[in-house]
Amino acid sequence: MSNSHLKKININKLAVGMYVQAITDKKGKLSVKSQGHIKQACMIDILKKKGVVTLVIDTSKQLCELQNLKDVPDNEGDLENCKKETLPEISFSSEIDKASKLYKQGKVIQKSLMRSVKNGLPYDEQISKEFATEMVNSIDRNSNALLCLTKIRDKDDYLLEHSLNVAILLANFGKSIGMSSAEVEELAHAGFLHDIGKIKIPDDILNKPGRLTDSEMDVMRKHVVYGVETLKESSLNSSLIRVVSEHHERLDGLGYPYGKKGDEISQAGRMIAIADVYDALTADRVYKSGMSGQKALQILLKDCPEKYDHILLQHFIKCMGIYPVGTLVKLSNERIAMVIEQNKEKPLKPKVNVFYSTRGNHYLEGKDLNLVESTVSIEKPVLANDYKIDVKTIFERNVLASISD
Ligand SMILES: [Fe+2]
């Protein structure tokens, strides 16, 4: 390996995604494992606490230079283990029923909050705060359950589901980069509220199928400021309101409403931008089908590093997996299946529920299959529309029903 990849830096320049080759200057006597990727922000704090002053990084191993999804490395060679105090995970089948009820409850809460805002009633942050806590608890117990539900969409409920989904994606994202429980809850809460200002946008613009004209877009963009104004009347933390205010800002300064650039946008603001676009691209709308998670991630990658934070996006990709839970995939044995559980060690071999035959184009009785124990493999992700599959019915019939049996 050429030495040109090695660079000496001060600890203050160390960032998530970098690969530490060696520690060159350290105060104090505490031992530090000296090689590996910085996968979480808390690792940097640990190194600082242990007195590390300068270190050598290997830029050729930096996560931000990964070019495509399959290059995202597995969990190995971490510099330090930042164990978070979380409840032990329970199985998908034990959590999905609770998660499903929580998801429905989230839509009801979102609807009533929006109605209150529309009617000019004071905003009660307690209800959404408690809901955000419940949501994070479910993610802690088994993240696959709520994540799977983000894929079971009702195209008539876009606004309600989008806010809920962004909150779920952010809870999972925040947890995966080592944020504290309080930070994860605030981030998820911000996700849940980020589009609340849309309720003040006229319906004909809000629900217009297809592209908005420039003047309609100007009206639509006001939803951010409307939302911020509403939330400022509550006693919500200013850090949460800041995240809401930044969800359409972009690193190149071409976002809105303030045109903030680079470091002017908070880390949480950069995270919500990624989750917001990912969910919008994958959503089924009345006038169009959503794209696959893989395609959406590729689109986000294409706009890196101009619009989105490349290192954070790599983390997002990693925590979603190559085939996010809920993705429909075509298998090598001419079957269609839904991904129901990630395999963190072998991301190409998740657990799936097989429910459709492409040979005769007919449904099958749903059956779980762990690809890591099978010779069958994933050929490609597919869209429900390609096979006229009603995902919601399939999910209720095969996944939920098999659990309550
Ligand atoms: Fe928005």
Task: Give the Å distance between the CA of 223 and the centre of ligand 1.
Answer: 7
What residues does the ion ligand 1 have nearby, CB within 5 Å? 195
Q: In what order do the strands lie in the sheet with 362-370?
A: 362-370, 351-357, 335-341, 328-331, 378-382
SS3 (DSSP) at 8:
strand
Task: Give the Å distance between the CA of 198 and the centre of ligand 1.
Answer: 8
The HSE-up count of residue 58 (CA atoms within 13 Å, CB side) is 13
According to the model, what pLDDT value does residue 98 have?
Answer: 94
Given CA atoms 104, 110, 111, 113 in this order, what sign does their dihedral have?
positive
Task: Give the Å distance between the CA of 202 and the centre of ligand 1.
Answer: 15
Kind plus residue range of the DSSP H or E element containing 328? strand 328-331
CA-CA distance, 358 to 330, in Å (whole number)?
9
CB 384 within 8 A of CB 328: yes
Task: Give the Å distance between the CA of 244 and the centre of ligand 1.
Answer: 9
Residue ranges for the chain with pLDDT beneath 70:
1-4, 16-17, 28-35, 37, 39-43, 45-46, 49, 60-88, 401-405
Task: Give the Å distance between the CA of 145 and the centre of ligand 1.
Answer: 25
Task: Give the Å distance between the CA of 185 and the centre of ligand 1.
Answer: 20
114 Cβ contact list (under 8 Å, min separation 6): 159, 160, 196, 199
Task: Give the Å distance between the CA of 137 and the centre of ligand 1.
Answer: 25
CA-CA distance, 368 to 382, in Å (whole number)?
18
Task: Give the Å distance between the CA of 265 and the centre of ligand 1.
Answer: 16
Prediction pTM value = 0.77
Task: Give the Å distance between the CA of 122 and the centre of ligand 1.
Answer: 21
CA-CA distance, 140 to 163, in Å (whole number)?
20
- Whole-angstrom Cα Rg for the chain: 22
Task: Give the Å distance between the CA of 274 and the centre of ligand 1.
Answer: 12
According to the model, what pLDDT value does residue 258 have?
Answer: 97
Q: Which CATH class is domain 92-320?
A: mainly alpha
Task: Give the Å distance between the CA of 80 and the centre of ligand 1.
Answer: 36
Q: What residue spans in the chain does CATH classification 1.10.3210.10 cover?
A: 92-320
Task: Give the Å distance between the CA of 59 and the centre of ligand 1.
Answer: 35
Task: Give the Å distance between the CA of 385 and the centre of ligand 1.
Answer: 26
Task: Give the Å distance between the CA of 355 and the centre of ligand 1.
Answer: 35
Task: Give the Å distance between the CA of 6 and the centre of ligand 1.
Answer: 41
Determine the residue type at 123.
Answer: Y
Task: Give the Å distance between the CA of 277 and the centre of ligand 1.
Answer: 9
Q: Closest Cα partner for 293 from 170, 151, 90, 115?
A: 151
Task: Give the Å distance between the CA of 303 and the centre of ligand 1.
Answer: 18
Task: Give the Å distance between the CA of 224 and the centre of ligand 1.
Answer: 6
Task: Give the Å distance between the CA of 66 and the centre of ligand 1.
Answer: 29
